[in-house]
């Protein structure tokens, strides 16, 4: 990978203008990268200007929506494929199989096309036709299967595993429990955050699906800062991890649900296991707060974000308020609102989820669908 270069004149100008850490981005540019896989990562770190003003902190969001597949999951997709190659499980012309309905499938589709592998995706048949169509047009073979619980052998994850086992030169990438997922964030996202801030991070918070992002970044930041950076899980309703952390390790049954796609978890995955004890605490964020922040980020920051990103921003704001003025709080902007626009900005959908009243009057103009 080409290293990021700083061009002297712009950097000099920035320093003459009394620059602080957040306006050096204008002076960085990346050289040529060799193919799509090298275009994954090195995303900008955006200072959320209004929220930073309001909290008296630096609230920073890692722009993961700028990855080629449009989400933070491109990093994990690349690392699970590289891991399978390095372990000799995947050779040229081979097949990658995964159970996913979301961003991991899209990331894998890009990575597999770029590297010449076939991709097979199993997903619950409750998913939208749009998701199936997108994966198919990105070259994946897609099997929508009955939406049954994890302990049923027909669950999409088990079907994905069996499909890979029945083929030669095929691997089930198993994003939830394959720790190459968290390694992506230990080796790339964490170091990028550290370099982009010059180590000036006081707190980090984000939500989890597989846990790879939270665990990997927490591990890196705790190590790089000798434990100084405070790290917090941000959990949606219907996830058990907040209560797991608050109760000192008790797993309860899953109840409730959330509009935030891609996050919320019913168990401690292998990706979370090594690092969950490193966390300093956890927050739970309501759907009302998350949806309001989708609209606020659009209106105040010009950022078009999915609901998991908005939840992360709410969490960053709450952590900033708790820690007090002058702190730098970092979070992850996981993906954009593009795939969710027909819901997030639809009056009918908001009403169906009892979330219409969560949108303040001055932001109603964005409810256009
Ligand atoms: N946000 C979105 C939109 C996602 O698709 C995912 C992955 N399912 C996450 C957040 C959570 O990332 P991770 O799997 O690394 O916990």
Tokens 């989400």 locate to: 71
Atom of ligand 1 nearest to the CA of 261: 3
Pocket test for ligand 1, best of 69, 263, 333 (most atoms within 8 A of CB): 263
Neighbours of 20 (CB within 10 A): 11
Measured by CA distance, the residue closest to atom 3 of ligand 1 is 262
Look at ligand 1, atom 4, and give the residue with the nearest C-alpha. 262
Give the pLDDT score at 31: 87
Helix, strand or coil for residue 63? Answer: strand
Tell me how far the alpha carbon of residue 46 lies from the centroid of ligand 1, in angstroms.
Answer: 19
| ipTM of predicted complex | 0.99
Q: Which helix or strand (DSSP H or E) is residue 60 part of?
A: strand 58-63
> Which protein residue's CA is at the shortest distance from atom 5 of ligand 1?
262
Q: Which tokens go with 228?
A: 């100084």
Q: 205 near 312, Cβ under 8 Å?
A: yes
Q: What is the pLDDT of residue 17?
A: 39
pLDDT at 28 (0 to 100): 59
Report pTM: 0.92
For residue 133, the SS3 value is helix
Write out residues with Cβ below 6 Å of ligand 1.
71-73, 102-103, 208-214, 261-263, 306, 308, 334-335
**Cβ count near 42 (within 10 Å):** 19
218 C-alpha vs ligand 1 centroid, how far in Å?
A: 15
- Cα–ligand 1 centroid distance for 332 (angstroms): 10
Distance 164 CA to ligand 1 centre (A): 23
Taking the CA of residue 48 as centre, how many other CA atoms within 13 Å lie in the half-sphere pointing to its CB? 35
For ligand 1, pick from 189, 308, 333 the residue to mutate: most ligand atoms within 8 Å of CB: 308
Atom of ligand 1 nearest to the CA of 181: 15
309 Cα nearest atom in ligand 1: 1
Task: Considering the candidates 73, 115, 131, 222, report the single residue annotated as catalytic.
Answer: 73
Tokens of 3: 């290293």
Which positions ≥6 away from 79 have C-beta within 8 Å? 180, 181, 183, 184, 187
What distance lies between CA 248 and its chain's CA centroid? 25
Q: 205 alpha carbon to ligand 1 midpoint, in Å?
A: 13
If you measure from the C-alpha of residue 89 to the centroid of ligand 1, how many angstroms do you get, rounded to a whole number?
25
Whole-number pLDDT of residue 129: 85
pLDDT at res. 150 = 82
β-strand pairing of 45-47 with 28-29? unpaired
Residue 209 CA to ligand 1 centre (angstroms): 5
Q: What is the predicted pLDDT for the residue at 8?
A: 35
Structure tokens at 95: 């097949």
Contacts of 174 (CB under 8 A, 6+ apart): 80, 98, 157, 161
Handedness of CA 89, 107, 156, 252 (dihedral sign): positive
What proportions of the chain, in percent to the nearest 5, are helix, strand and coil? 45, 15, 40
Query: Which residues neighbour 210 within 8 Å (Cβ) at sequence distance 6 or greater?
Result: 76, 104, 175, 176, 181, 265, 269, 271
- For position 130, what pLDDT does the model report? 85
Burial 210-249 (b: 16+ CB within 10 A, else e): bbbbbbbbbbbbbebbeeebbbbbbbbbbbbbbebbeeee
Rounded to an integer, what distance in angstroms lies between the CA atom of residue 126 and that of residue 155? 12
Atom of ligand 1 nearest to the CA of 216: 15
CA 76 to ligand 1: nearest atom: 15
> Which residue has the least CA distance to atom 2 on ligand 1?
262
CA–CA gap between residue 115 and residue 313 (Å, rounded)? 34
- For residues 253 and 216, give the distance between their C-alpha atoms in angstroms, rounded to a whole number: 26
Which among 41, 33, 29 is positioned nearest to 4, based on CA atoms? 29
**Block means of pLDDT (10 residues each) for the chain, length 369 residues?**
37 40 55 95 98 98 98 98 97 97 95 98 88 94 92 94 97 97 98 98 98 98 98 97 96 91 94 97 98 98 98 98 98 96 97 98 97
> What is d(CA 247, CA 133) in angstroms, rounded to the nearest whole number?
42
pLDDT at residue 21, as a whole number: 52
Which atom number of ligand 1 is nearest to the Cα of residue 210?
14
- Residue in the structure block whose two tokens are 């950022």: 303
Residues 6+ apart with CB under 8 A from 30: 2, 4, 5, 42
**Annotation says 73 is catalytic:** yes
Q: What is the rounded distance in angstroms from the CA atom of residue 7 to the CA atom of residue 355?
A: 47
Residue closest via CA to ligand 1's atom 6 equals 262
Q: How far apart are CA 140 and CA 128, in angstroms?
A: 16
């Amino acid at each position: 990978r080409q290293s990021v270069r700083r061009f002297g004149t712009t950097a000099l100008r920035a320093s003459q203008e009394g620059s602080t850490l957040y306006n050096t981005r204008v002076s960085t540019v990346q050289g040529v990268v060799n193919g799509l896989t090298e275009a994954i990562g090195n995303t900008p770190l955006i200072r959320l200007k209004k929220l930073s003003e309001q909290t008296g902190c630096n609230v920073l969001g890692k722009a993961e929506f700028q990855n080629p597949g449009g989400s933070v999951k491109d990093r994990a997709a690349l690392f699970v494929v590289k891991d399978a190659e390095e372990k000799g499980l995947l050779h040229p012309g081979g097949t990658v199989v995964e159970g996913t309905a979301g961003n991991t499938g899209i990331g894998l589709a890009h990575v597999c096309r770029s590297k010449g592998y076939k991709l097979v995706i199993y997903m619950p048949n409750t998913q939208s036709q749009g998701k199936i169509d997108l994966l198919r047009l990105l070259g994946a073979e897609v099997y929508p299967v009955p939406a049954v619980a994890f302990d049923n052998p027909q669950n999409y994850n088990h079907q994905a595993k069996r499909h890979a086992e029945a083929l030669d030169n095929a691997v089930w990438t198993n994003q939830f429990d394959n720790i190459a997922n968290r390694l992506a964030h230990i080796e790339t996202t964490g170091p990028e955050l550290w370099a982009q801030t010059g180590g000036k991070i006081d707190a980090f918070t984000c939500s989890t699906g597989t846990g790879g992002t939270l665990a990997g970044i927490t591990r890196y930041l705790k190590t790089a800062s000798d434990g100084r950076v405070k790290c917090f899980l941000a959990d949606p309703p219907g996830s058990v991890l907040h209560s797991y952390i608050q109760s000192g390790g008790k797993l309860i049954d899953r109840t409730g649900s959330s509009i935030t796609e891609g996050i919320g978890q019913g168990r401690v995955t292998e990706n979370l296991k090594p690092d969950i004890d490193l966390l300093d605490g956890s927050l739970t964020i309501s759907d009302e707060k998350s949806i309001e922040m989708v609209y606020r980020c659009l209106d105040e920051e010009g950022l078009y974000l999915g609901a998991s990103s908005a939840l992360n921003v709410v969490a960053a704001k709450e952590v900033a308020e708790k820690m007090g003025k002058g702190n730098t709080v970092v979070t992850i902007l996981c993906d954009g609102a593009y795939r969710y626009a027909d819901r997030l900005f639809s009056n009918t959908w908001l009403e169906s989820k009892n979330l219409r009243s969560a949108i303040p009057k001055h932001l109603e103009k964005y409810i256009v669908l």
